Structure 1
Amino acid sequence: MKLNIKNETSRLRAVVLGTAESFGGTPSFADAYDPKSAEHIKAGTYPVEADMVKEMEAVREVLEKYDVKVYRPKMILDYNQIFTRDIAFVIDDVFVKANILPDREQEIEAISEVFGLIDPDKIVRLPEDAHVEGGDVMVHNDYLFVGTYYGSDYPNFITARTNMKAVNYLKEMFPQKKVKSFNLKKSNYEPRDNALHLDCCFQPVGKDKAILYKGGFLNLDEYEWLVNFFGKENIFEITRDEMYDMNSNVFSISEDVVISERNFKRLNTWLRENGITVEEVPYAEIAKQEGLLRCSTLPLVRD
Structure 2
Amino acid sequence: MASNFSHAIVRRPCRRLIEGITTNPQLGKPDYELALEQHDDYVAALEGAGVEVTVLPALEGYPDSVFVEDTCVITPKGVVVDIPATDSRRAEAELMLPTLREFFSPDQIKRLSAPATLEGGDVMMVDDHYYVGRSSRTNDEGFRQFAGFLAEWGYTAEQVPVEHILHLKTGGTYVEDGNLLVSGEFKAAPAYRRGQFRNVFEVPDEEAYGADCVRINDKVIMAAGYPRVQAQLEEWGYDVATVDMSEYRKIDGSITCLSLRW
Query: Under a length normalisation based on structure 1, what TM-score does the superposition of the two structures give?
Result: 0.78
TM-superposed CA distance for 1:167, in Å, is 1.4
> Residue 188 of structure 1 corresponds to which residue in structure 2?
none
> Residue 9 of structure 2 corresponds to which residue in structure 1?
16
C-alpha deviations, 1:187-218, integer Å up to 9, x for none? xxxxxxx321110112111411000124247x
Q: State how far apart, in whole Å, the 2-side matches of 1:34 and 1:47 are.
A: 11
C-alpha deviations, 1:237-271, integer Å up to 9, x for none? 0133322xx212111112x3101112011100111
TM-superposed CA distance for 1:56, in Å, is 1.0
Q: Which has the larger radius of gyration?
A: 1
| 1:143 corresponds to 2:113 | no
- Closer, same or farther in 2 for the Cα pair 1:136/1:18, shift >3 Å? same
What CA RMSD, in Å, does the superposition of the two structures yield over aligned residues? 2.1
Which amino acid is 2:199 matched to? N
TM-superposed CA distance for 1:137, in Å, is 1.1
| 1:212 corresponds to 2:177 | no
Q: State how far apart, in whole Å, the 1-side matches of 2:49 and 2:180 are.
A: 23
1:116 to 76, 82, 102: 102
1:79 to 62, 78, 81: 62
Q: State how far apart, in whole Å, the 2-side matches of 1:196 and 1:298 are.
A: 18
1:239 to 163, 182, 204: 204
Q: State how far apart, in whole Å, the 1-side matches of 2:146 and 2:205 are.
A: 30
Which amino acid is 1:252 matched to? R
TM-superposed CA distance for 1:68, in Å, is 0.8
| 1:107 corresponds to 2:95 | no
| Contact 2:130 2:158 survives alignment (8 Å) | yes
Q: State how far apart, in whole Å, the 1-side matches of 2:149 and 2:212 are.
A: 26
> Residue 166 of structure 2 corresponds to which residue in structure 1?
196
Give the gaps of 5 or more residues in structure 2: none
| 1:35 corresponds to 2:23 | yes
**Secondary structure of 1:289's partner?**
coil
TM-superposed CA distance for 1:110, in Å, is 4.1
- Closer, same or farther in 2 for the Cα pair 1:229/1:180, shift >3 Å? farther
**Secondary structure of 1:200's partner?**
helix
Kindly, what percent of the aligned residue pairs are identical? Answer: 21
TM-superposed CA distance for 1:125, in Å, is 1.1
Q: After the TM superposition, which residues 121-200 of structure 1 pair with which residues of structure 2 at under 5 Å, given as runs?
A: 121-149=107-135, 160-175=136-151, 176-185=154-163, 194-200=164-170
Give the structure with the larger helix fraction.
2
Q: State how far apart, in whole Å, the 2-side matches of 1:252 and 1:143 are.
A: 17
Q: Number of aligned residue pairs: give it.
A: 257
Give the gaps of 5 or more residues in structure 1: 1-6, 150-159, 186-193
Q: State how far apart, in whole Å, the 2-side matches of 1:127 and 1:110 are.
A: 16
Query: Under a length normalisation based on structure 2, what TM-score does the superposition of the two structures give?
Result: 0.89
Which amino acid is 2:150 matched to? F
- Closer, same or farther in 2 for the Cα pair 1:214/1:49, shift >3 Å? closer
> Residue 212 of structure 2 corresponds to which residue in structure 1?
249
Q: State how far apart, in whole Å, the 2-side matches of 1:108 and 1:180 are.
A: 23
**Secondary structure of 2:56's partner?**
coil
